[in-house]
Structure 1
């Protein structure tokens, strides 16, 4: 007589499945119909989501709008870099009227900050202004000190509650750590490149004490210009509908794409500067020719 795992009592199997992480649970659900039914338990997925994103602990409305298994499938894997390729199209996607950001900052694996930020996204002011969301503002009191900012990790999940979709726009691990040239603050950057634009979440730590003073998200294009709220909504809507990519090497891949983006932006900036210098030289030469021609005409009278 052959014994299979499904010969175990359903309660025993359910307890075992609750000990798995999200990726393992999803894989187990593909094995048999019985395991799929057990793995579909909403409470199991809700517990996984709360373990991954503590910021959602008090967000009943958000978890009601986005089923936990859908939230995990949308926000845990990295979005494909080409997922937002349709973001610039006109009328192809329904734009969110509201964005909800679930922001979780960790230091050495321990939660340091968990916050949910609601952003109305339908006003003309939002659509026409540069996109920026602040989870912690400079005007607010400083948070707990961080001894090593480079060890920080960040998850920034953007949710469209109306459509019940989400996407994680943070690289989780830092792609760059540098100091502000004027204030001396340490700026820890987490970024993903979507549709040729860079979503960059920055954790700013004060000089010396290392308190977290600011956590913000902004978007810029390949020329270094800030992307408007409407442009960002198009990128997010396309990314939410696009494919996801899993894998243990995704943080390293996110850093590589960030470095390539920065390199391309620097190259475009240098090329633009050369074109402007050449244009200035041509204008100067043309002006000199005009002046000399005028002086020659005056002298020959």
Structure 2
């Protein structure tokens, strides 16, 4: 008795051309997140054309950043070259800006008159704060003063869920995330200046509050104390461990390697240069934390060198004074 092994003839895989475009657009693309949709768009010209529908990207952006669900912001994003798709491309990936300030000097004469901040804070992936704030900078006071954006008034705060288990510092470092998108309505560009996860979490020495720092390191003026600048968002949390935590302060500042706050004009030159020339790439925050630590180490090293120079100058001044003193007395005694 002979047996015959059956032969299977696999059916060829269905190509996207066999699916109606409406099925791809409404039943497949609507289920994708932004990065996956962008990757799918690279597969073929057909998929690219289907993926350019602005409504798809509007739904993705609105679900990613609650703070942009604002009529004013929606009108601004609609003016971007490719609408919400351009906005997502500017805002979702990690910012990598390495072009020195010397290449950005042209921006100093064409600074915009307004910035829009769209900020979302999450605790364990749950949204706890979402706020949109417009910063007008039409006067000389803003351009000459230290650049700072505060989201809260002194009496405002946001309640977070109760912290459970572990230490308070570790819990906030692991579970608190932040997105701060700056939008330039005039130049129709945006950038996300947050590192996503905190680059540093520490307890304030005086108040006992927890300060989580989300930082992006940007290129500044090569060869100076602004060779690199730190664009930092500080989230201040107060309360007691085991109880509800209050987010009391969320502020943005730009500092140089000496720890000095940059002026409004200098900060805007760097930020707008980063909008135009900064590269966007995917990341999970670990690289940004490493850049932050390297920046802080270079800052400490500059401080140590400065202290050594000052000590040397002080010693030279003391020796010069002693020499002059001895010279005068020698002249007086042996005259």
Residue in structure 2 matched with residue 12 of structure 1 by the alignment: 23
Query: CA separation in 1, counterparts of 2:229 and 2:306?
Result: 19
Q: Could you say which residue in structure 2 is the equivalent of 1:299? A: 333
Q: CA deviation at 1:207?
A: 4.1
Deviations 1:274-294 (A, max 9, x none): 100110111111112222222
Pairwise CA distance, 1:161: 0.6
Tell me, in whole angstroms, the C-alpha distance in 1 between the residues paired with 2:42 and 2:101. Answer: 31
1:110 aligns with 2:133: no
Match of residue 92 from structure 2: 76
TM-score by length of 1: 0.93
Give the aligned partner of residue 272 of structure 1. Answer: 306
Find the partner of 2:210 among 186, 191, 196.
186
TM-score w.r.t. length of structure 2:
0.84
1:144 to 151, 159, 172: 159
Is the CA contact 1:95–1:233 (under 8 Å) kept in the aligned structure 2? yes
Q: Which stretches in structure 2 are left out of the alignment for 5+ residues?
A: 1-10, 164-170, 220-227
Say whether 1:90 aligns with 2:114.
no
Deviates more, 1:127-136 or 1:183-192: 127-136
Q: 1:236 aligns with which of 264, 271, 289?
A: 271
Query: Which structure would you say has the larger Rg?
Result: 2
2:150 is aligned to 134
Aligned to 2:64: 52
Output the CA distance in 1 between the equivalents of 2:300 and 2:142: 28
Distance 1:177 1:207, change over 3 A: same
Please give the secondary structure, in 2, of the residue aligned with 1:266: helix
Question: Does structure 1 retain, via aligned residues, the 8 Å contact 2:145–2:263?
Answer: yes
1:32 aligns with 2:44: yes
Cα-to-partner distance string for 1:106-128 (whole Å, 9 max, x where unaligned): 00001111001111123211111
1:297 Cα offset (Å)? 2.6
Shift of 1:88: 6.5
Partners of 2:249 and 2:299 lie apart in 1 by 25
**Offset from partner CA, 1:232-282 (integer Å, 9 cap, x none):** 11111111112433234x411000000000000000000001100110111
Partner of 1:211: 246
Counting matched residue pairs gives 298
* Conserved 8 A contact 1:80-1:244: yes
2:280 corresponding residue in structure 1: 245
User: Which has the higher mean CA deviation after the structures are superposed, 37-46 or 291-300?
Assistant: 291-300
On the 8 A contact 1:166/1:240 being kept in 2, the answer is yes
| Consecutive unaligned residues in structure 1, runs of 5 or more | none
1:295, 1:185 → 2: CA distance?
59
Structure 2 contact 96–281 (Cα < 8 Å) conserved:
no
- 1:136 to partner: Cα distance: 2.2
Root-mean-square deviation (CA, aligned residues, Å) is: 1.8
1:65 and 1:162 in contact (8 A); partners too: no
